[in-house]
């Protein structure tokens, strides 16, 4: 999911460079939403693993 956010961020940067403001804004918004969903799922996963007594696998 973090990869998708990075992909949309790169699309936003490239579109911004070429002057496509609408596409850049949309791609940046999508990247922001996907990133926050990733962060929420990460926190839920860490809390669930802490409640089970397991250490996170790195």
Q: What is the pTM of this model?
A: 0.71
DSSP, collapsed to helix, strand or coil, labels residue 53 as coil
pLDDT at residue number 39: 92
pLDDT higher than 70, residue 54: no
Q: How far apart are CA 10 and CA 1, in angstroms?
A: 14
Domain boundaries, the chain: 2-52
pLDDT at residue number 1: 73
Quote the tokens at residue 57: 């696998």
| Ordered alpha helix ranges (H), 1-58 | 2-17, 21-52
Residue 12 burial (CB < 10 Å; 0-12/13-18/19+)? Answer: buried
């Amino acid at each position: 999911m973090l990869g998708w956010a990075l992909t949309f961020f790169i699309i936003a940067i490239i579109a911004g460079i070429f002057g496509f403001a609408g596409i850049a804004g949309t791609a940046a918004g999508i990247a922001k939403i996907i990133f926050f969903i990733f962060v929420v799922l990460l926190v839920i996963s860490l809390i669930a693993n802490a409640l089970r007594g397991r250490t996170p696998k790195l």
